[in-house]
């Protein structure tokens, strides 16, 4: 099976995650690029590398290492990268608009054949395709949302887990697009991957740029008390200990898992108490507070998840009515 496009790579990654395709049966084509295009009167093409280009190259390199290390559980640094030559970002600068191109080495795709975990293989392939696609935040916005809906319809939860891991790795390693946003003039435009040129204001909005906000995505699987059900809005309110309650989306859950959650929690809520349920939850944090959370499955903790209390800083008293704990079947 020969893969030539990002969409083919994504779809095959999902099949690898579910075990329907063996990575050893896949061959990768050439010319899968990461592209950053800038049209800005303050960022003009030069035949010599200036500080802006040098800084952008370094940040892109660090992003690539961060993504790779997160998924592959490696620790490749700028000092040790010479032992991993296929991770080295070599930039081609085109004339006219400043256009930076990095052809992702075929050997980097082939590296997945040496990995044992289907989850890691799929996640790395999704990340590489997502970087190339771009779509605002390295491919983790509208394009991935469409893929998410497809996977939900097909009940492919292993693929959903790989997509979520990729989302996390991509979001946490995007200093290059933020550097572009920080250095665009008001009259400048920029594009990532296969996206069209966007004005400075649009570009910053696309990548949710805020110089003063620290964002990251974490897995916070645990036993949570379900305080409220709001299936009309596809969400439930979760509580853990003395931490502030938060709403979590259930749109990732299959219908049978939604019904299981509803049956477990509904009676307890009607009785003025709350049931504790084992949930796999991923959350986006802004300055120590949860800004968005999604329940991926009703189930035990995944490897690599962290305690909620270790990543949030906002707390408040929890009503005593939520202190009751019922067993999970």
Please tell me whether residue 145 adopts helix, strand or coil conformation: helix
pLDDT of res. 136: 43
CA distance 204 to 71: 27
| pLDDT recorded at residue 210 | 57
pLDDT in the model for residue 224:
93
* Rounded Cα–Cα distance for residues 288 and 45 (Å): 40
Residue 254 CB: number of other CB atoms within 10 A? 14
Q: Which of 223, 222, 225, 237 is nearest to 321 (CA)?
A: 225
What is the structure's pLDDT at 325?
31
Radius of gyration of the chain (CA): 22
Q: Which of 200, 229, 243 is nearest to 295 (CA)?
A: 229
Sign (positive/negative) of CA torsion 293, 146, 60, 193? negative
Q: Per-residue pLDDT tens for 167-214?
A: 878 877 888 888 888 888 888 998 888 778 889 888 887 776 655 445
Q: What is the pLDDT of residue 323?
A: 33
Note the pLDDT of residue 322.
34
pTM of structure:
0.63
Residue 287 confidence (pLDDT): 63
d(CA 308, CA 299): 16
Query: Is 273:314 a contact under the CB 8 Å cutoff?
Result: no
Count of beta carbons in the 10 Å neighbourhood of residue 52: 18
Sheet containing 92-94: which strands, arranged edge to edge?
92-94, 98-103, 33-39, 189-192, 198-199
Instruction: Spell 96-108 as b/e; 16+ CB within 10 A means b.
Output: ebbbbebbbbeeb
pLDDT at site 159: 87
Tell me the DSSP string of 54-96. Answer: HHHHHHHHHHHHHHHHHHHT----TTTGGG-GGG---PEEETT
Regions of the chain where pLDDT drops below 70:
31, 44-48, 95-96, 134-143, 208-216, 287-288, 313-329
Q: Which domains does the chain have, with CATH numbers?
A: 2-211 (no CATH), 216-322 (2.40.50)
């Amino acid at each position: 099976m020969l893969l030539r496009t990002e969409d083919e790579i994504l779809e095959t990654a999902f099949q690898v995650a579910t075990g329907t395709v063996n990575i050893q049966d896949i061959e990768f084509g050439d010319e899968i690029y990461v592209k950053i295009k800038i049209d800005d009167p303050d960022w003009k093409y030069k035949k010599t590398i200036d500080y802006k280009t040098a800084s952008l190259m370094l940040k892109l390199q660090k992003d690539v290492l961060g993504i790779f290390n997160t998924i592959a559980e490696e620790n490749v640094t700028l000092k040790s990268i010479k032992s991993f030559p296929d991770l080295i970002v070599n930039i081609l600068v085109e004339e006219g608009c400043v256009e930076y191109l990095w052809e992702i080495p075929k050997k980097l795709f082939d590296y997945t054949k040496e990995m044992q975990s289907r989850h890691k293989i799929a996640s790395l392939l999704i990340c590489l395709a997502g970087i190339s696609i771009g779509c605002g935040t390295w491919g983790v916005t509208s394009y991935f949302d469409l893929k998410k809906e497809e996977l939900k319809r097909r009940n492919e939860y292993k693929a959903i887990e790989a997509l979520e891991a990729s989302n996390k790795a991509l979001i946490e390693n995007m200093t290059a697009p933020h550097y572009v946003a920080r250095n665009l003039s008001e009259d400048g435009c920029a594009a990532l991957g296969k996206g069209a040129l966007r004005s400075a204001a649009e570009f910053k909005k696309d990548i949710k740029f805020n110089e003063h906000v620290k964002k990251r995505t974490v897995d916070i699987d645990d036993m949570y008390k379900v305080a409220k059900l709001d299936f009309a809005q596809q969400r439930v309110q979760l509580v853990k200990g003395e931490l502030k309650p938060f709403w979590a989306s259930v749109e990732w859950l299959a219908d049978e898992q939604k019904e299981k959650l509803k049956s477990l929690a509904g009676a307890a809520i009607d009785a003025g108490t709350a049931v504790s349920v084992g949930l796999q939850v991923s959350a986006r944090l802004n300055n120590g507070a949860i800004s968005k959370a999604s329940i991926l499955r009703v189930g035990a903790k995944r490897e690599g998840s962290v305690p909620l209390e270790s990543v949030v800083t906002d707390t408040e008293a929890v009503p005593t009515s939520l202190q009751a704990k019922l067993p999970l079947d």
